[in-house]
Structure 1
Amino acid sequence: MAVDSSSTVSDAAGDDGGAYPFEPGPFGSCPAAYRRRRKDAPVSTIALPSGDEVLLVTRYDDIREVHTNPDFSRNLRYPGAPRMLATADFGEDPNSLINMDPPEHARLRRIVQGAFTPRAAEKWRPQIRAIAEELLDEVIAAGPPADLRTAFAFPLPMEVICRLLGVPPKDSTLFRGWPETLLSLTGGSAAQERLEAGIAFATYVDELVADHRRAAAARPSPRPDLIDELLNARDEDADQLGAAELTNMVRGLIIAGHETTANAFTRGVLALLRHPQQLAALREHPELLAGAVEEVLRAEIPGHGALLRVAKRDVRLPSGGQVRTGQGVLAPFVAANQDPDRFTEPEAFDIARTDNRHLSFGIGPHYCLGANLARVELQVALEVLVTRLPNLRLAVAEEELSWAAGSRVCGLDALPVTW
């Protein structure tokens, strides 16, 4: 059915007020506002925390179009561009990969993408398993109950990304606070906290890169870590990475390399604990592991929002909705993953689901660089946990679990378990 955005705005905002971000559903699930709008107003207006009004699209095909059509740009740095926050935000950094369009985006991505191919990710599987086994050894030795989020879910991808980049192990604890602060969407004092966190994070990465550069100058060949590779990287059409580009690349890899993976794993474990028959099936049939991870990624995507795009010219979306030149558009993958026109019974958690073409890693030029590595991490972590703790269960009632609020990432504050 063709729907023009101008005729559906008032109907869409009736239940949710039109203010973003929307309240998550039970257990951090997809906001009900997306479901209502998908049915009644698939292209409708919302107000961002900045006060700017943009269009929200909620159908799978429309979301796919926004992220793949080159007529939608990530360059929001011009005067008057729509902004997620009224204060400074990482969406305004001109040196950040996520804020670039081709060809600049393609140049930087080519330099780093070799470290994240499926083959490169598979090479990490033995190390990831060793890290997971060691972390779980410590959890078991300490005895139940345990906070699986703090003791296992976050340390695992953090250790992996630190080893991949060449970050000293002692520094890994520094990264827990900075990403959480930078991903906040709240106002007031949080704006100053975001600014301070951004400066501290950038200063640390600058010093880290400088240490690598000094060490590289004293060695005949670079160390086998990604920062050294980036320092020596040259693209066939471009010079070496600039200092600001390199700093932003490392910061982005650190944030994306652990925050979303850890939250997806924590949410996935909770989903399995809340669906014991599915957990039992996974234990009995290890061949379901890869599919289980894909269903976790589809149903338990921790990011309820998306990065803004702006239309460079008028675009008519597959649903019939019209986007005018200069309009900002928000196209959240979590809404695409719940579209009943694309997924049978999308609200059901089903590890045996087939044809699971979710969009949790994105699509188009900005498809997640670390998708292959994240898949390996989630597969290994889930396999080790399910195998070694056959009696794993929640240590508190479901209603006692609390969820982080006011962030781009919807994750648990803690996951208390026993066994």
Structure 2
Amino acid sequence: MPVVDISSGAEDFAADPYSFYAALRAAGPVHRVGGGPSDDAPCWIVVGYEEVRQALNHPSLLKDWRHSGTFPGLEPTAANSNMLESDPPRHTRLRRLVAREFTSRRVQEMRPLVERTTAGLLDAMAARPERAADLVGALAFPLPMTVICELLGVPDLDRERFRHWSNAVVTPVPGVVGNEAHLHLSGYLAELVARKADHPGDDLLSALIRTRDEDGDSLSPDELIGMAFLLLVAGHETTVNLISNGVRALLAHPAQLAELRADPGKLLDGAVEEMLRYDGPVQNSTYRYAATDVELGGVVIPAGAVVLASLAGADRDPGRFPDPDVFDIHRAPQGHLAFGHGLHFCIGAPLARMEGRIAVRALLERFPDLAEDPAGGPPQWLPGSLMRGVSSLPVRW
């Protein structure tokens, strides 16, 4: 089986990874690839829908890289003490404690803030005399950043500095893990947790500091830092790309855009789900590590291997989605994997969906002639194979 390199950052792959995944999928659901996190560990990618679902919930595909031997010499930070980088029983315990406070009620209580923040950002866009803007910088980034900072009670976060750290974590330069960014974020969040412990508020982070389960268990200081790290980074990066990818798909399909404008009450929820399936914010899952030999799709992945579950590949699988490369806001919900599956299903999915629905509807109502700005040049795609999106989206009205 030939080894395919997915780390080269080639422009054709960045612009259209879906053709790449389709070609792999046509030859089979599981493949050996190059460009993994370490030269010492073989890397495999899973691109078939059913096989990706199995991989995302397989008990022998672990998430805690600290026990994998894959990153020799890399020191873990407090930021690594989070659910995404944990396995049962630790993951079970962390998720239970967080779920006690990160409830659907708390998410719904954020709705007025989301609506108010969206309106303010659109006011600022409308006031531009040039009637043009970068939608990422004007709406898609500041909205979820404001919301997640309010949720965690982070009033004084340097947004530009944080954006730099966050980008270094989720879209690292090939061969660089982004550990420096982890260190900076860990230091900042350690100070934040200490301040919240001394001066608690009504925010989620203060609630997580206070929470105890029936046995008196609570989150340790490092676990609080890890949870704040995960919620800050994952809580805004995915929503940035949900909004920008979704709007880009709508602008590229004017007939469906017109339908959505005409009847958002009926079509909006389905449109957001199709945005997530068609061009979701996370292209591939974070790494998993095979604790034993694992068979997926008739292929044996050897113990010690690194595994990527391709959400983008799965959500364009014709075996699950008829005409998968067609963007169709009328498509019946069929269980896309944009937010993952199983133990590590995104705990913030309800908040991301709410932000996406409010932002898209308000944007289209405010700017009925919104269009991509042809003067903006070709898309600048995010590097790497983790996130799927553009660094800017020039629009005009």
Question: TM-score, normalization: structure 2?
Answer: 0.91
Residue 244 of structure 2 is aligned to residue 255 of structure 1 = no
1:355-412 per-position Cα deviation (integer Å, ceiling 9, x unaligned):
3310000001111010000000000000100111101011126862222224632321
Query: Relative to 1, partners in 2 of residues 1:19 and 1:283: Cα closer, same or farther, differing over 3 Å?
Result: closer
Query: Relative to 1, partners in 2 of residues 1:374 and 1:233: Cα closer, same or farther, differing over 3 Å?
Result: same
Could you say which residue in structure 1 is the equivalent of 2:117?
131
Of 357, 362, 365, 1:384 maps to 362
Residue 269 of structure 2 is aligned to residue 290 of structure 1 = yes
d(CA) in 2 for partners of 1:23 and 1:342?
Answer: 28
Could you say which residue in structure 2 is the equivalent of 1:316?
295
Residue 396 of structure 2 is aligned to residue 418 of structure 1 = yes
Q: How does 1:221-370 map to 2 (within 5 A)?
A: 223-237=201-215, 239-286=217-264, 287-317=266-296, 319-370=297-348
Per-residue deviation, 1:183: 1.8
Of 367, 372, 393, 1:394 maps to 372
d(CA) in 1 for partners of 2:76 and 2:26?
Answer: 32
One-letter amino acid of the counterpart of residue 214, structure 1: D
Per-residue deviation, 1:39: 1.0
d(CA) in 1 for partners of 2:268 and 2:236?
Answer: 21
Residue 195 of structure 2 is aligned to residue 211 of structure 1 = yes
d(CA) in 2 for partners of 1:91 and 1:371?
Answer: 26
d(CA) in 1 for partners of 2:285 and 2:11?
Answer: 15
Of 36, 48, 52, 2:23 maps to 36
1:401 is paired with a residue of what secondary structure? coil
Structure 1 window deviating more from structure 2 (163-172 vs 359-368): it is 163-172
Query: Relative to 1, partners in 2 of residues 1:329 and 1:408: Cα closer, same or farther, differing over 3 Å?
Result: closer
Per-residue deviation, 1:415: 1.1
d(CA) in 2 for partners of 1:44 and 1:95?
Answer: 30
Q: Is the 8 A contact 2:78 2:223 kept in 1?
A: no
Structure 1 window deviating more from structure 2 (139-148 vs 320-329): it is 320-329
Q: Is the 8 A contact 2:144 2:355 kept in 1?
A: yes
Could you say which residue in structure 2 is the equivalent of 1:151?
138
Query: Relative to 1, partners in 2 of residues 1:406 and 1:66: Cα closer, same or farther, differing over 3 Å?
Result: closer
Could you say which residue in structure 2 is the equivalent of 1:4?
none
Structure 1 window deviating more from structure 2 (290-299 vs 92-101): it is 92-101
Residue 113 of structure 2 is aligned to residue 113 of structure 1 = no
Residue 53 of structure 2 is aligned to residue 59 of structure 1 = no
One-letter amino acid of the counterpart of residue 312, structure 1: A
d(CA) in 1 for partners of 2:280 and 2:366?
Answer: 25
Q: Is the 8 A contact 1:186 1:407 kept in 2?
A: no
Q: Is the 8 A contact 1:309 1:330 kept in 2?
A: yes
Residue 48 of structure 2 is aligned to residue 70 of structure 1 = no
Aligned residues: 393
Query: Relative to 1, partners in 2 of residues 1:351 and 1:39: Cα closer, same or farther, differing over 3 Å?
Result: same
Of 90, 100, 104, 1:104 maps to 90
Per-residue deviation, 1:157: 0.4
Q: Is the 8 A contact 1:114 1:120 kept in 2?
A: no
Q: Is the 8 A contact 2:239 2:352 kept in 1?
A: yes
Question: TM-score, normalization: structure 1?
Answer: 0.87
Q: Is the 8 A contact 1:24 1:32 kept in 2?
A: no
Q: Is the 8 A contact 1:29 1:300 kept in 2?
A: no
d(CA) in 2 for partners of 1:109 and 1:69?
Answer: 18
d(CA) in 1 for partners of 2:6 and 2:271?
Answer: 34
One-letter amino acid of the counterpart of residue 95, structure 1: S
Could you say which residue in structure 1 is the equivalent of 2:38?
50
Could you say which residue in structure 2 is the equivalent of 1:167?
154
Q: Is the 8 A contact 1:49 1:185 kept in 2?
A: no
d(CA) in 2 for partners of 1:390 and 1:116?
Answer: 35
1:404 is paired with a residue of what secondary structure? coil
Gaps of 5+ in 2: none
Q: Is the 8 A contact 1:21 1:305 kept in 2?
A: no
d(CA) in 1 for partners of 2:229 and 2:292?
Answer: 32
Could you say which residue in structure 2 is the equivalent of 1:6?
none
Q: Is the 8 A contact 1:20 1:49 kept in 2?
A: no
Structure 1 window deviating more from structure 2 (113-122 vs 376-385): it is 113-122
Q: Is the 8 A contact 1:266 1:412 kept in 2?
A: yes
One-letter amino acid of the counterpart of residue 213, structure 1: A
